[in-house]
Amino acid sequence: MGKRYTIALLPGDGTGPEVLAEGKKVLKAAEKKYGFTIEYTAYDLGGDRYLKTGELVPDSVLAELGKVDSIYLGAIGHPDVKPGPLEVGILLRLRFHFDQYINLRPVKLYPNVETPLKDKGPADIDFEIIRENCGGIYTGVGGSAHQGTSLEYATQVMTYSRAEVDRCLRYAFRRAQKREKKQLTLVHKMNVLTHVGDLWFRAFHEMGEKEFPEVKRDYNHVDACTMWMVKNPEWYETIVTANLFGDIITDLGAMIQGGMGIAAGGNINPDGVSMFEPIGGSAPKYTGQKKINPMAAIGAGAMMLEHLGEEAAAKAVEAAIIKALESGKIKSLAAGRMGLNTEEIGDLIAGLV
Ligand code: IPM
Ligand code: MN
């Protein structure tokens, strides 16, 4: 008997449900072939529920999510809700509550995918970004006063404890150790952020020297990193960085690997409940039109399988994505210009698992 996994499905807003349906379809093909089963329970967290009931993540849902093997998320973001409450109240709430302190975002250019980088191909763009996912400026430490007066001010602090930094670095060193080049680049802004940047920098070198001497260490300021990611992406193998910097450079990463339609990520707690998602947003203008690319969601499904320990199945799903791209049947990865609709791409990939 194969293993059984329980997965909480959070389709969310906009095109989230459409892409997640295709992810499920492809995982179903992997279940059959690799002899395991997934049991899904869906939760309607998102903008519609919030607008109807005022609820973001009820405690009862949080308790249930705490019992599953993994969470599979579509997208959060609703055109009728102002920016803030859904992102903070759902996405960040789940990341923080489950202490998903790693955000793993592979940047990999697959064959037949167009990159905006001139003269770069799949051999040049293949690295991983490990973004610290629970701390830093995202924690919300700070405040404001004298609102509405000329004396108004606000602060939002980049806080990091050594323990928070160390656990993220350790994960990153271990990922780097598994890759061919064994090279880890710390990305920060230590020339200006002399307190928090210095903490990351010292922790990085101390841990590297003591625990991972075989991993080559490199350091880039974040502004320089955006430059090198465009100019020489082949220099990168594994990047580790703080929350905000990681947010910014992973969008750049997504663009150089072919766009949001193909970029997948995992919010990982190595000892707890993790959550996998396409990193793009809910694309409300395409809702229900079946124009959006499900590959990012399918790729997130593959990452989830890897995390669950179904490594062969994970590889097969990734290989199926690559075969689908190599088939020449998909004209573009951009929404509405794919030549196939969302469901047809799901069918194509599921058939290749
Ligand atoms: C991401 C998103 C989120 C983030 C937002 C929606 C809170 O941009 O997953 O990268 O900033 O982390
Ligand atoms: Mn982002």
CB atoms closer than 10 angstroms to residue 237:
20
Please indicate whether the domains covering 1-111+262-353 and 115-257 agree at the CATH topology level.
yes
pLDDT at residue 1 above 70?
A: no
Return the best residue to mutate from 82, 87, 100, 244 for the ligand 1 pocket (most ligand atoms within 8 A of CB).
87
pTM of the model as a whole: 0.97
| pLDDT at 2 (0 to 100) | 84
Mean pLDDT of 42-65: 96
| pLDDT at 313 (0 to 100) | 98
Helices (runs of H) and strands (runs of E) counted in the chain? 12, 12
| Distance separating alpha carbons of residues 250 and 143, to the nearest angstrom | 28
Q: Where are the domains of the chain?
A: 1-111+262-353, 115-257
Ligand 1: does its nearest atom lie under 6 Å from the Cβ of 129? no
What share of the chain has pLDDT > 90, as a percent? 98
pLDDT at residue 212 above 80?
A: yes
Ligand 1 atom 8, closest CA: 247
| Distance separating alpha carbons of residues 279 and 256, to the nearest angstrom | 14
Are the beta carbons of 107 and 256 closer than 8 angstroms? yes
Ligand 1: does its nearest atom lie under 6 Å from the Cβ of 91? yes
Mean pLDDT of 268-297: 96
Ligand 1 atom 6, closest CA: 87
Taking the CA of residue 133 as reference, the ligand 1 atom at the shortest distance is 12
pLDDT tier at 303, thresholds 50, 70, 90:
very high
Show the CA angle centred on residue 185, arms to residues 333 and 307, nearest 5°: 60
Architecture of the domain delimited by 115-257:
3-Layer(aba) Sandwich (3.40)
pLDDT tier at 97, thresholds 50, 70, 90:
very high
Mean pLDDT of 194-205: 98
Mean pLDDT of 10-28: 97
Centre of ligand 1 to C-alpha 250, Å, is 10
pLDDT at residue 64 above 80?
A: yes
| pLDDT at 38 (0 to 100) | 98
Q: Which stretches does DSSP call E strand in 210-322?
A: 216-221, 238-241, 264-268, 274-278
Ligand 1: does its nearest atom lie under 6 Å from the Cβ of 251? no
Ligand 1: does its nearest atom lie under 6 Å from the Cβ of 247? yes
What share of the chain has pLDDT > 70, as a percent? 100
pLDDT at residue 107 above 90?
A: yes
Fold for 1-111+262-353, please state it: Isopropylmalate Dehydrogenase (3.40.718)
